[in-house]
Amino acid sequence: MMPITATLIAELFAHAARSPSAHNTQPWIPHFAPATTPASPAEVHVAVDPARTLPVGDPNSQDLHLAMGCWVESFTIAAAEVGIDVIIGSVRGRGPALEIRLLLTALPDQPGASDLWPNFTSADLQHRQVDRGPLRRAEEPFATAFAAAERALAASGMASVEGTALVEVPHHLWETSLARATRYSYSHADIFTETLEWLRFDRRATSYAEDGLSADCLQIPRPLAAVAARLNTATLRPWIGGLTSAALAPVEFVDSLRATVVRRTSRDRGSPAQASTDGSAPLHHLVLVKDATASSAGGDSLARQDIELGRNLLRTWLLLDQHDLRVDVHSEIKDCPQTRSAVSDYLLNDHGLHAVPVAAFSVGRSTTAVPRSSRRPVEPIHS
């Protein structure tokens, strides 16, 4: 039985720090509370850093809750590998006020693999990456991984979040939604300005190696990144956001009208997968969805559901990664009201699901080396 020490917990925190988060904000603040008596469990309390939230782009804190769920799952996976069982003791509050209490128990033997999901390890946590570069379709590994994820989500949803499912979206609907959602993000000055705050172009800045979306991970050429570094300053961001919004506002207005008309007159169904404009086979595009009625739950209950969704999202990405598949995340599809509605219509009309998307991503095999995303250093723990 391994003792639960501050040194060990610091190592587990380092593994959990590789968790994904919107714009790579890394909003978690974990704190270790050693056991006070031999009979009581050690605890980890996870709070939110308000400065690392997205109040404009994530007003309902769903992306924040998903990220916290990913952190909890990463910590749980790393802990299980060294024989420590982790359960959620309580979830209180939501958004920046969210607090998660984890109970830790040292087991005499390492726990076995789950019947639903593979036995993920800390090596899996370190290997997983989002690839924003070119991906290629990989049919057989995708089919195997997708079927396994479907089975696991269907079974685990009964114990965590009812109505959780993984659904493939047709290529035509995905391309149309992605273009519309991108214009929506750029045409709203406050959303675009907030995004600019988390883009890292200047390699000399300390933040470049700590958080945000770096030019390397976005695969932006160095000359272009150097120009962007001069423009992306606290003084110029509001001007850039305002000018971009003014330029795209008419286009976004037309998009909104068109989306309303389409919803009223047709099912806006996507066509089956077809060749892309460059002649290559399109990627698989997936959405993780939940029952639309789940949003009626209370604040703490809804936050806990989102945390469980985040845990399942990370498991899904780890499962894909074990099949040598990576994801390219496009949360803007579920954040834009028009595209979220279009995807929800597709889920209802073609799958009979009264559901809403909570995550959207393309899946394929990497064709180039994938730069590591930055992470903040883990502070030493003093017990």
Per-residue pLDDT reduced to its tens digit, 153-173: 988 754 556 678 999 999 999
What pTM was computed for the model?
0.90
Q: Could you report the per-residue pLDDT of 13-37, keeping only the tens digit for each?
A: 999 999 999 999 999 999 999 988 8
Q: DSSP characters for 122-177?
A: HHHHHH--B--S-EE--HHHHHHHHHHHHHHHHHHTTTS-TT-EEEEEPHHHHHHH
Give me the CATH code for the 6-127 domain, please.
3.40.109.10
Task: Reply yes or no on whether the pLDDT at 1 is more than 70.
Answer: no
- What residues pair up with 157 in beta bridges, in sequence order? none
What distance in Å separates the CA atoms of residue 347 and residue 177, rounded to the nearest whole number?
14
What pLDDT does 246 receive?
73
What pLDDT does 157 receive?
58
In the chain, CATH 3.40.109.10 sits at 6-127
Q: Give backbone dihedrals phi and psi of 152, rounded to 5 degrees, phi first.
A: -65, -45
Structural fold of domain 135-201+232-366: NADH Oxidase (3.40.109)
Contacts for 44 with CB less than 8 Å, ≥ 6 apart: 9, 30, 31, 32, 33, 75, 86, 101, 102, 104
